[in-house]
């Protein structure tokens, strides 16, 4: 393991590369990364990267976002087949249909979308700022795609507007059911329940806090409590435990694992640096339009 770590570090210097990793990545991939964060943190980080090469350890839409924000840099994915099923649920045709039916409503797209969807949207959001982004719009009706659960949660926080939702969802978070929370809570009655807004409304209703992955990390660091039930992809528990050695974390469900996030391995990181592959590029006309939606979101910042 230390051998491969050493080789990656050496190549990283030679290539003037930076490694960005999402909070759901494998533990060893998080350890080799220069920056580990949530979708919003990774987008902000990509926007200010100084290196020539960005090695993106996450899923495809995240690397695409980095490529859109840094057109002059080479963005590579160690495992380019790592996609997000939710991002692939909405197509340009389906979005065009929603726009046709609601011609006056602006489109807010979750960052978990393809570059083509972002290019057809007015503003992007992540789970760390969806409420803030929707509130920032002057319109009373807003199209929100593709996550119906994040959309439902956002609607509950912004009752003064009507959100027109699409039927997308994250299969990993949809795997967490209220029974799981109740069961773990019975075993650990003193634990606070933190869940991600991609969870079902029946699950967010049981939570003490509904937070993005970055929001969970911040909340736990500042909390006096010692035990937490974590309702999101289980990969984040590694970072939580590392940052808070005195606290205890219990996954709401062991089944909440995103197979796509786990496709990137240390070996693939090494090979990607050796071959500078696989490059993720977005055509200029799409990137120019999508960048406006992402930059508009970055100006708004986080809510948590
Ligand atoms: P955040 O890291 O922004 O909370 O998003 C979770 C997620 O599912 C990303 O794919
Ligand atoms: Fe997509 Fe869900 Fe995996 Fe995130 S956890 S990448 S939303 S499938």
| Ligand 1 touching residue 38 (CB < 6 A) | yes
The class level of CATH for 2-85+261-281 reads: alpha beta
CA of 127 to the centre of ligand 1 (A): 7
**Is 301 in a helix, a strand, or coil?**
coil
Q: Where are the beta strands (DSSP E) in the chain?
A: 17-22, 35-37, 53-57, 74-76, 107-110, 123-125, 141-145, 162-165, 192-195, 209-210, 227-231, 248-251
Q: Is 213 annotated as a binding residue?
A: yes
Cα separations (Å) of 265 from 20, 63, 245, 260? 13, 16, 25, 11
Domain ranges of the chain: 2-85+261-281, 95-171+286-302, 176-251
Instruction: Note the pLDDT of residue 8.
Output: 98
Burial 248-286 (b: 16+ CB within 10 A, else e): ebbbbbeebebebbbbbbbebbbebbeeeeeebebeeeb
Dist. CA 107–CA 122, nearest whole Å: 5
Instruction: Note the pLDDT of residue 304.
Output: 75
Substitution candidate for ligand 2 out of 82, 199, 260 with most atoms within 8 A of CB: 260
Alpha-carbon radius of gyration of the chain: 19
Dist. CA 283–CA 266, nearest whole Å: 29
* Nearest atom, ligand 1, residue 61 CA: 10
Substitution candidate for ligand 1 out of 212, 262, 302 with most atoms within 8 A of CB: 212
**CATH value of 95-171+286-302 in 1.20.1640.10, 3.30.1300.30, 3.40.50.10800, 3.40.50.620:** 3.40.50.10800
CA of 227 to the centre of ligand 1 (A): 22
In this structure, which residue's CA is closest to atom 2 in ligand 2? 170
**Is 144 in a helix, a strand, or coil?**
strand
CA of 6 to the centre of ligand 2 (A): 30
Q: Do domains 2-85+261-281 and 95-171+286-302 have the same CATH topology?
A: yes
Q: What is the pLDDT of residues 6-20, one digit of tens each?
A: 999 999 999 999 999
Dist. CA 177–CA 174, nearest whole Å: 7
In this structure, which residue's CA is closest to atom 1 in ligand 2? 84
Instruction: Note the pLDDT of residue 1.
Output: 66
The answer to whether the CB of 211 falls within 8 A of the CB of 23 is no
Give the residue ranges of the chain where pLDDT is below 70. 1
The reply to whether CATH 3.40.1160.10 applies to domain 176-251 is no
Q: Is 196 annotated as a binding residue?
A: yes
| Ligand 2 touching residue 77 (CB < 6 A) | no
Q: Is 39 annotated as a binding residue?
A: yes
């Amino acid at each position: 393991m230390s051998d491969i770590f050493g080789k990656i570090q050496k190549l990283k210097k030679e290539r003037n590369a930076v490694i960005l990793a999402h909070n759901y990545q494998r533990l060893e991939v998080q350890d080799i990364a220069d920056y580990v964060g949530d979708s919003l943190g990774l987008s902000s980080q990509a926007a200010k990267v100084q290196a020539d090469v960005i090695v993106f350890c996450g899923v495809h839409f995240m690397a695409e976002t980095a490529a859109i924000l840094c057109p002059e840099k080479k963005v590579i994915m160690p495992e380019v087949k790592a996609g997000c099923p939710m991002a692939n649920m909405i197509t340009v045709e389906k979005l065009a249909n929603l726009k046709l039916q609601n011609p006056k409503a602006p489109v807010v797209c979750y960052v978990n979308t393809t570059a083509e969807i972002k290019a057809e949207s007015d503003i992007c959001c992540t789970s760390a700022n969806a409420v803030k982004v929707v509130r920032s719009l002057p319109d009373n009706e807003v199209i929100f795609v593709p996550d119906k659960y994040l959309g439902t949660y956002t609607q509950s926080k912004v009752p003064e507007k009507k959100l027109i939702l699409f039927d997308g969802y994250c299969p990993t978070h949809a795997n967490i059911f209220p029974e799981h929370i109740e069961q773990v809570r019975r075993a650990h009655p003193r634990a606070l329940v933190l869940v991600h807004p991609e969870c079902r409304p029946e699950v967010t209703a049981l939570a003490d806090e509904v937070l993005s992955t970055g929001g969970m990390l911040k909340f736990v660091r500042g909390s006096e409590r010692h035990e937490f039930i974590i309702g999101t992809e289980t990969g984040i528990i590694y970072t939580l435990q590392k940052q808070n050695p005195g606290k205890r974390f219990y996954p709401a469900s062991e089944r909440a694992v995103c197979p796509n996030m786990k496709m990137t391995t240390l070996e693939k990181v090494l090979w990607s640096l050796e071959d500078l592959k696989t490059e993720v590029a977005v055509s200029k006309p799409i990137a120019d339009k999508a960048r406006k939606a992402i930059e508009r979101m970055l100006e708004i910042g986080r809510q948590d």
